[in-house]
Chain A
Amino acid sequence: MSSAPPVSFFDRPNSYIGRTVPRPNAKKLLQGRGTYVDDITLPRMTHVVFVRSPHAHAKIIGIDRAAAQEMPGVIAIVTGPELAKVITPWVGVLTHMKGLKSAPQHALAIDRACWQGEAVAAVVAETRAEAEDAAEMVVVEWEELPAVVDMEAALDASTPVIHPELGDNLAFRRELVTGEVDAAFAAADHVFEEVYHTGRHTGVCLEPRAVLADYQPAEGKLVAYQATQAPHMIQNLLAKHLNLTESDVRVICKDVGGSFGIKVHIYPDEMATAALSVLLRRPVKFIADRLESFVTDIHARDHRIKGRIAVNTDGEILAFEIDDRTAIGPYSVYPRTSAVEANQVVNLVGGPYKHKAYRASTEVVFQNKNVTCQYRAVGHPVACAVTEGLVDLAARKLGIDPAEIRRRNLIPDDAYPYTGLAGLPYESLSHHASLDKLLALMDYDGLRAEQAELRKCGVYRGIGLASFIEVTNPSSAFYGIGGARISSQDGCTIRLDPTGTIICATGVTEQGQGTEAIIAQIAATAVGVTMEKVRVITGDTDATPYGGGTWASRGAGIGGEAALQAGKALRQNILAVAAAMLQAAPETLDIRNGTVVDADTGNERLPLEEIGRVVYFRPDTLPKGLQPEFVVTRHYVQKDYPFVFTNGIQGSYLEVDTETGFVTLLKHWCVEDCGTIINPQLVDEQIRGGVVQGLGGALFEHCIYDDRGQLVNGSMIDYLVPMAGEMPDIIVGHVVSPTASSELGAKGAGEAGTAGAPAAVMNAINDALRPLNVSLTAQPFTPESILLALGKVQAGRK
């Protein structure tokens, strides 16, 4: 008699899948014993400080470094043309984004600066303070050029063209029409339209961008300690542009102090740092300071979207239409390009709904402000704000409850597989289950009753809902097919050491989200050992399988699946050896808690330590033909879909003070579906952190430029981010629809919070202000903008 074999590895004894376990790597961080790039000191290390353009657009007439060169500690002062002898320029385009264009970009500007903050010279000194002192003595003679700042005017004939060789300021245009759009709008009982703005904002990683480049001339090797999400991508780019062999470049990424997409790109100053190390033949460290971060870390989300929705009187949504414009700065960012965000907006608008017609157009234009590129939940919060704003607008005009109009229009949970109107397949989504769960969690009816009661006393509270779809587990569709050497596959190498410890090296990276914990959980489960017996190695191109790293919520879904398959293969290999040692059939054995057992009875037969001892130290006692393979690598790439979509819905409850314009967030809810949950706590904390980044975009965060292209709030004092005092408690719930595209079934959870929060807040504010016949559509919703809308202050004041 035998007990039924486990249905899947989830059911295995000592499975860690679905269990909250503390992150093994958190202890060192709690003791301040992590290793961020700035914590590393190398012998003969130097520091670089960049001289940056104070103008949005200006010609470099000359650079006088005579005085600076005399300053104590100065090692070298390098200009653009000098550095260009060591490093080649790049153009940030992808071939599958038809028509996308950009101009060659250099590590240091050659003859012209195209945004305030572009580096034009590098000062290398013994200490950071000395480099800063000397940088102040570098005199750049500028001839200021007209700056393109207004995205709406960027294509006008009277507007200067930033890169004359490109012909105009249009970087990319995409149009998409699905279904009978004009007919749908003509047939609809009602058409409602609105213009939405999403504010330009940025990631504000607490650890600034950082790289320590160490060129070792004797070996021709470059080691870059870099705070990055994609070490292998950086390895490729450094080799390519410094004319090095890729295997001679090693990128080491230890602890990273927040990234959120900001650190998934390569920046000119980072390229310059590596080039300086090659040039000077010694280590060079660059740590951006906070002011530099604001003017050079990628920005995002700067969109103006005209949106229309066609609806029938009963609330049935027939069609969406959007006209989007966004400005990306003077260059499309390398290598992922700056057109992806607009592309995502087109892909995602209307995503949760079952309408039949959709027209979208987007124009991506150049301007003389800092570049924009992919930041957490790329395009999602923009698309979600437009979609959910229009849905609420329709509900409001038609007198239908916001929850009810969603119930009538969300794609049914049994409709899958389903192809969205942007042409992308949805494997299996759970909008209705999520909506039901959210309304129950919120006590929606109770909140509505409370809102009505308080309104009688002049208290303006609002409830906002926002459904969304989320792109995760990307295939090669994002970058690979466009010619970028950014891996969509990932690998995991797992080995068994003599003591029964397993070491997992993975291509996905740890940015604090808990990658190392979930890889350990999956590997422990798949092999059959306890978590204490697992070590995880990430972030070293010399030591980990080639992979994509962390972006687009791919760590668990792609990296996790590779770990699962590697772990299972190692288990089989161990059992083959155990079977020989025990003279048993391998299929009658299993590994549980680090011990080989009889699969049927669970009786302990042989600890892994003993197998390790024999295999490594007494292989002479094993049968002659048996070759133990205790190092196993497996790779995984998601090939079934361009992306594995997930979904969710958020709810916001807030109060607007109509006297001061202040918004008080009272509570926030998010229900999402990330498929298989590996560690519930880590998922919840991803959602919460993401929600707060979304709330920041909705209420506070804004990169404000003046009409000369000067960032006027480039410090943490002036650029507001959410702090603990303004943030609400955030309740998280889940619906679980595992993806069938992998055995693990995990989808991503990194974007969900950020995707839906701004729309939920916008809808809640407008719900609160509904009795006053006011509605706001331009993020961020500041007290001033609310008072302006209420007519309590006048526009145009300085």
Chain B
Amino acid sequence: MEQHDINVIVNGQKLRRRVSARQHLIDFLRNELSLTGSHLGCEHGVCGACTIQVNGTAVRGCLMLAVQADGASVDTIEGLSDSGAIADLQDAFHKHNALQCGFCTPGMLATAAELVEQHPNADREEIRAHISGNYCRCTGYHAIVDAIATVLDARRKAAGGSGA
């Protein structure tokens, strides 16, 4: 099996690893680095459970190869949690019970984090559209939309309050 050396920053930590050319990024994160927060639901890019952030953009971990992450910065749910970057989203999800089994949740949060950064004025319909690549089989989505809307609102108020 063809092997390659990669340099990658995962959750802020610089790593040098030798990976198989065919290994998916999500398998690398889960199996090689024990970052099991991101999950595998379908392995063909449909369900969104493996969504992580690569260079700040939400990416399907099952559609990207580990070698493609060479030189990139990868953030998983573990890193996003520890850095506090999505603390408000996590609090809102908790408060609204916007998760049940929690399997989709890390991917959903990565997608939601992208939304609140890039579309601060999104309305309910736009929130629904943005998270439409992430399956949730438990909640019916309503509470997730509520949680994200709450965060958008709070961030807008905070931005307005500081005169931004």
Q: Which residues of A contact B (CB under 8 A)?
A: 22-23, 26-27, 29-34, 36, 38-39, 41, 129, 203-208, 255-260, 289-290, 511-514, 681-682, 685, 688-693, 715-717, 721-725, 727, 729-730, 753
Contacts and interface: CB of A to CB of B under 8 A. Distances in A.
Interface stretch (B44-52, B65-73, B151-159): B44-52
B76 to A, nearest CB: 7
Nearest to A729: B142
Given A206-B103, A716-B44, A725-B128, A32 B77 contact: yes
Given A688-B143, A689-B138, A717-B44, A30 B94 contact: yes
Given A29-B99, A724-B128, A688 B140 contact: yes
A53 B46 CA distance: 25
Nearest to B37: A32
A30 B93 contact: yes
B58 interface: no
B139 A717 contact: no
A685 B101 contact: no
Interface string B14-32: 0000001011000000100
B137 A730 contact: no
B39 A685 contact: no
A789 B47 CA distance: 32
B46 A36 contact: no
Given A32-B81, A725-B129, A38 B40 contact: yes
Contacts of B145: 724, 729
Interface residues of B, number: 55
Given A38-B40, A716-B47, A724-B132, A26 B102 contact: yes
Most chain B beta-carbon contacts within 10 A, residue among A27, A207, A511: A207
Contacts of A34: 102
9 contacts: A29-B102, A29-B105, A41-B34, A206-B104, A207-B103, A256-B101, A258-B137, A514-B100, A716-B44
A207 B97 contact: no
B24 to A, nearest CB: 10
Smallest CB-CB A-B distances: 9 pairs:
A32-B37, A29-B102, A257-B103, A512-B101, A32-B77, A512-B100, A688-B140, A692-B140, A725-B132
A693 B78 CA distance: 30
B60 to A, nearest CB: 12
B36 A727 contact: no
Given A32-B76, A206-B39, A207-B41, A727 B141 contact: yes
Contacts of B93: 26, 30
A258 B97 contact: no
Contact of A30 (B40, B103, B109, B133): B109
B116 interface: no
A133 B43 CA distance: 16
Contact of B99 (A512, A692, A717, A729): A512
A724 B94 contact: no
A692 B97 contact: no
Nearest to B141: A724
A205 B39 CA distance: 13
Given A23-B97, A39-B36, A206-B135, A730 B81 contact: no
B55 to A, nearest CB: 20
A23 B132 CA distance: 25
Given A207-B41, A682-B97, A730 B140 contact: yes
Contacts of B100: 258, 511-514, 685, 689
Nearest to A293: B42
Contacts of A260: 137
Nearest to B101: A512
B53 interface: no
Contacts of A730: 140, 142
A257 B39 contact: yes
B137 A688 contact: no
Contacts of B36: 32, 36, 38-39
Contacts of A31: 37, 77-78, 81, 90
B95 interface: yes
A31 B80 CA distance: 8
Contacts of B41: 206-208, 290, 716
Given A689-B138, A723-B133, 16 more contacts: A30-B90, A30-B93, A30-B94, A30-B109, A31-B81, A38-B36, A206-B39, A255-B103, A258-B137, A512-B99, A513-B100, A685-B139, A689-B137, A691-B140, A721-B135, A727-B128
Contacts of A693: 137
B74 interface: no
A385 B30 CA distance: 43
A289 B41 CA distance: 8
B94 A26 contact: yes
Given A32-B106, A723-B135, A724-B134, A257 B140 contact: no
B94 to A, nearest CB: 5
A740 to B, nearest CB: 29
Given A31-B78, A258-B138, A207 B101 contact: yes
B20 to A, nearest CB: 8
B29 to A, nearest CB: 11
A727 B140 contact: yes
Nearest to A686: B100
Contacts of A512: 99-103, 138
A22 B94 contact: yes
A739 B17 CA distance: 60
Most chain A beta-carbon contacts within 10 A, residue among B38, B94, B99, B101: B101
A231 B145 CA distance: 34
A207 B127 CA distance: 24
Nearest to A259: B101
A289 B81 contact: no
B44 A290 contact: yes
A21 to B, nearest CB: 10
A723 B132 contact: yes
Contacts of B137: 203-206, 258, 260, 689, 693, 721
A23 B49 CA distance: 21
Contacts of B8: none
B113 interface: no
B59 interface: no
Contact of A258 (B94, B103, B144): B103
A167 to B, nearest CB: 40
Nearest to A685: B97
Most chain B beta-carbon contacts within 10 A, residue among A27, A36, A129, A685: A685
A731 B39 CA distance: 31
A290 B42 CA distance: 5
Contacts of B35: 32
A583 to B, nearest CB: 45
Contacts of B104: 206
Given A32-B36, A33-B37, A724-B132, A255 B143 contact: no
B102 to A, nearest CB: 3
Most chain A beta-carbon contacts within 10 A, residue among B93, B103, B105, B137: B137
A73 to B, nearest CB: 11
Contact of A32 (B46, B78, B94): B78
A39 B36 CA distance: 6
B39 A681 contact: no
A775 B161 CA distance: 55
B140 A717 contact: no
B76 A511 contact: no
Contacts of B135: 204, 206, 716, 721, 723
B23 to A, nearest CB: 8
Contacts of B105: 29-30, 32
